[in-house]
């Protein structure tokens, strides 16, 4: 068969006899060229040869489609192949030519399209059976001809197609996932994660990422609760087959210099995030049985910012945010040192873009979570973390507020005493109070004056609170702290009272909302339970109570430490029709809700004991 001849396109007629019309013909021109119905099909006799006249006829579209010879080359799709704007893409192919092209199209994806369209239990079983046969055939040929890839390359291509054909199962989880578990296909997929061909492993990773994505759009009109249960059952089946270990091993196996491998790493991280979203407790298994923590700490140290580096930082933050064992493992893997090294690059410069900003925040969040443990606070001190954070607070960069947050975590509690002294010795008071007395940040401009203090101000107050709690009495560090509140005619005390007034207004609005809800519950004949009371307390904390408690705690210390400050505070409170009794009320709520472990050192007062002494002093003033 001569292919060139078969696909040869007919020549267009020569231009000498071609009749042309203007780009925008007038209605008169069209009318002159139109032939009436009585003359249709009749040629006028003329002694001189004339080119045939063009005719414009109103032909019904259905009648036109019935004509077999209506298009060049007898191409049935000549006029049908149009886009939405009416442009045609007909190729002028004959039926024989179109049949040949269809053969090639079908050869590229044999059986896939039909299976996708039959998204029922029978179609799903066909897809899973196809995967089983392809996997078994490939394994058999690889074992027979381990040194001759030409013998098993075709079966590998079939396995690749079988895996890709399972992608649509994510659109029908309620129907498909139980069958995946029942048929044993989950174990087969997990086994393929260690396939000799990394491309096959990437196919499995892509598939699992799609299947475990709870936010994946579904074509079914299904119940969300049933859908979540189906995904959860699939994840549990994956965990039973120890897929975490094989999945994480691919992080080191894949080469991120290659685009496909880089996307595969991204999907591995996505799968881990999906699994943790369904069961956060899996984070302990992930850190204990895999090298995820080691890999993420190494990955965030890569200098180039990309999606995988940002995702690694996010996963690191998730892993250690709520489990003590994970936080201790983070410390043992030099996580504190690594995080400080990574964050030091933002001391003098802001992140280049939004993704790098998110990356920086996730690394800070991981560090702050780790600093909840006394063991990591010591590592933080040994790595000169306090000094680095103080340097960051001196720079007017985006990292400043995050550095204050890290200092808040490092200096809080009895285990933060050494960090507090190191902070004062590093001249941290100057930069801290500079931030405290600074103007409202750009993000807060235009907001309601009664809005809550910014996160930066809240952490600054917490740092000051920790300094009063942990610095030894009569020590030079404590005297330097008190001097800051005396200087410039008690301006920092006035700032505290200003913050207190704003927090009080916000709390009053929150209390009004809670009282309305309480009345609604009582109107229904029921009283609020412990659950409602706990939620209301959390709302009060967010609605100004936490800021109010911190400010009143600092004010109480100031009144007890310095008589001049005591007189000034009393005078300023009287102007607002307030007294020390208002501070006592706030501290009593604080005292009643303190939840802290008993101090290990008998000479150290608990937070409750400190609050009790402060209230006793204020009541007697």
Q: Which residues pair with 88 in a beta bridge?
A: 82
Q: What is the largest CA-CA distance in the chain?
A: 130
434 sits in which H/E element: helix 428-437
417-425 and 374-382 are packed helices; what angle lies between their axes, rounded to 10 degrees?
Answer: 20
Q: Going from the N-terminus, what domains does the chain have, and what CATH number goes with each?
A: 1-11+56-108 (no CATH), 116-279 (1.20.930), 514-620 (no CATH)
Which pLDDT does position 526 carry in this prediction?
76
Which pLDDT does position 161 carry in this prediction?
95
DSSP state of 544: I
- 167 contact partners, CB below 8 Å, separation of at least 6: 206, 207, 210
DSSP state of 82: B
Q: List per-block mean pLDDT (blocks of 10 residues) for the chain, which spans 621 residues.
A: 47 42 50 44 42 46 43 46 44 53 46 51 92 93 88 91 94 92 94 94 96 70 79 93 94 93 96 93 93 96 94 96 93 96 95 92 97 96 96 92 96 94 95 81 40 73 96 94 94 95 93 90 79 89 94 96 94 93 95 74 78 92 70
Cα separation of 185 and 193, whole Å? 13
Which SS3 state, helix, strand or coil, does residue 159 take? Answer: helix
Q: Which residues pair with 82 in a beta bridge?
A: 88
Supply φ then ψ for residue 146, to 5 degrees.
-65, -25
- 551 contact partners, CB below 8 Å, separation of at least 6: 461, 496, 499, 500, 503
- 265 contact partners, CB below 8 Å, separation of at least 6: 250, 251, 254, 256, 308
Cα separation of 362 and 317, whole Å? 6
Picking from 225, 269, 278, the residue whose alpha carbon sits closest to that of residue 250 is 269
- 607 contact partners, CB below 8 Å, separation of at least 6: 469, 594, 596
Which pLDDT does position 146 carry in this prediction?
85
Question: Per the structure block, which two tokens stand in for 76?
Answer: 């049935």
Q: 427 — alpha (psi -120 to 50), left (phi > 0) or beta? A: left
Q: 581 — alpha (psi -120 to 50), left (phi > 0) or beta? A: alpha
Which pLDDT does position 94 carry in this prediction?
56
CB 370 within 8 A of CB 327: yes
Which pLDDT does position 250 carry in this prediction?
95
Q: Which sign does the torsion angle of CA 100, 105, 109, 112 carry?
A: negative
Which pLDDT does position 47 carry in this prediction?
40
Q: Which sign does the torsion angle of CA 344, 349, 352, 358 carry?
A: positive
Tokens 């066909």 belong to 126
CB 73 within 8 A of CB 92: yes
Cα separation of 496 and 559, whole Å? 13
Cα separation of 236 and 607, whole Å? 43
Which pLDDT does position 102 carry in this prediction?
53
Q: Which sign does the torsion angle of CA 93, 94, 99, 104 carry?
A: negative
Supply φ then ψ for residue 256, to 5 degrees.
-75, -5
Supply φ then ψ for residue 258, to 5 degrees.
-95, 140
Cα separation of 37 and 58, whole Å? 10
494 sits in which H/E element: helix 476-523
Give the helix ranges, DSSP H, for 109-148. 112-117, 121-144
**Entry pTM:** 0.76
The upper half-sphere exposure of residue 17, i.e. CA atoms within 13 Å in the direction of its Cβ, equals 9
Give the helix ranges, DSSP H, for 217-353. 224-240, 243-253, 259-278, 282-289, 292-299, 307-319, 324-332, 335-343
Q: Which sign does the torsion angle of CA 205, 206, 210, 211 carry?
A: negative
Radius of gyration of the chain (CA): 37
Cα angle at 612 between 611 and 614, to 5 degrees?
65
């Amino acid at each position: 068969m001569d292919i060139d001849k078969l696909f040869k396109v007919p020549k267009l007629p020569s231009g000498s006899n071609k009749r042309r019309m203007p780009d925008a013909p007038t209605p008169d021109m069209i009318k002159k060229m139109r032939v009436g119905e009585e003359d249709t099909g009749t040629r006028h006799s003329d002694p001189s040869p004339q080119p045939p006249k063009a005719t414009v006829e109103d032909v019904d579209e259905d009648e036109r489609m019935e004509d077999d010879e209506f298009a060049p080359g007898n191409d049935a799709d000549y006029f049908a192949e149009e886009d939405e704007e009416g442009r045609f893409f007909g190729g002028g192919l004959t039926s024989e030519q179109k049949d040949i092209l269809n053969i090639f199209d079908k050869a590229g994806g044999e059986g896939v399209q039909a299976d996708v369209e039959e998204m029922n239990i029978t179609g799903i079983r066909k897809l899973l059976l196809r995967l089983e046969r392809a996997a078994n055939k490939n394994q058999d040929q690889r074992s027979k001809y381990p040194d001759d890839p030409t013998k098993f390359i075709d079966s590998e291509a079939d396995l690749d197609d079988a895996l890709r054909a399972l992608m649509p199962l994510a659109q029908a989880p309620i129907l498909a996932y139980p069958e995946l578990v029942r048929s044993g296909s989950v174990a087969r997929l997990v086994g393929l994660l260690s396939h000799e061909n990394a491309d096959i492993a990437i196919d499995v990773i892509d598939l699992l990422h799609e299947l475990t994505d709870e936010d994946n759009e579904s074509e079914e009109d299904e119940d969300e609760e049933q859908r979540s249960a189906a995904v959860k059952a699939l994840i549990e089946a994956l965990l039973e087959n120890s897929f975490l270990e094989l999945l994480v091993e691919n992080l080191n196996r894949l080469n991120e210099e290659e685009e496909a491998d880089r996307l595969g790493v991204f999907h591995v991280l996505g799968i881990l995030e999906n699994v943790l979203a369904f069961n956060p407790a899996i984070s302990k298994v992930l850190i204990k049985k895999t090298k995820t923590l080691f890999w993420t700490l190494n990955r965030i140290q890569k200098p180039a910012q990309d999606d995988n580096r940002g995702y690694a930082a996010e996963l690191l933050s998730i892993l250690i945010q709520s489990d003590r064992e994970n936080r201790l493992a983070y410390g043992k893997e030099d996580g504190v040192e690594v995080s400080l090294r990574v964050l030091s690059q933002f001391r003098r410069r802001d992140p280049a873009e939004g993704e790098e900003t998110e990356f920086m925040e996730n690394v800070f969040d991981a560090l702050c979570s780790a600093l909840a443990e006394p063991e990591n606070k010591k590592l933080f001190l040994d790595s000169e973390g306090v000094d680095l954070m103080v340097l960051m607070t001196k720079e007017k960069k985006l990292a400043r507020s995050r550095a204050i947050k890290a200092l808040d975590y490092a200096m809080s509690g009895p285990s933060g005493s050494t960090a507090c002294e190191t902070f004062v010795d590093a001249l941290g008071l100057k930069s801290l109070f500079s931030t405290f007395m600074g103007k409202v940040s750009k993000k807060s401009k235009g907001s309601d004056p009664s809005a809550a203090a910014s996160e930066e101000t809240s952490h600054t107050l917490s740092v000051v609170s920790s300094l009063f709690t942990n610095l030894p009495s009569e020590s030079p560090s404590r005297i330097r702290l008190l001097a800051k509140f005396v200087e410039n005619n008690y301006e920092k005390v006035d700032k505290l009272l200003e913050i207190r007034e704003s927090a009080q207004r916000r709390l009053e609005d929150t209390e009004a909302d809670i009282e309305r809800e309480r009345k609604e519950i009582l109107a229904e004949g029921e009283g609020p339970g412990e659950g409602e009371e706990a939620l209301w307390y959390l709302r009060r904390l967010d609605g100004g109570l936490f800021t109010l408690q911190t400010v009143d705690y600092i004010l109480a210390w100031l009144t007890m430490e310095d008589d001049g400050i005591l007189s000034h505070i009393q005078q300023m409170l009287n102007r607002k029709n307030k007294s020390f009794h208002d501070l006592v009320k706030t501290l009593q709520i604080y005292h009643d809700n303190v939840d802290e472990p008993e101090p290990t050192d008998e000479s150290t007062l608990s937070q409750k004991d400190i609050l009790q002494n402060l209230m006793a002093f204020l009541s007697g003033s």
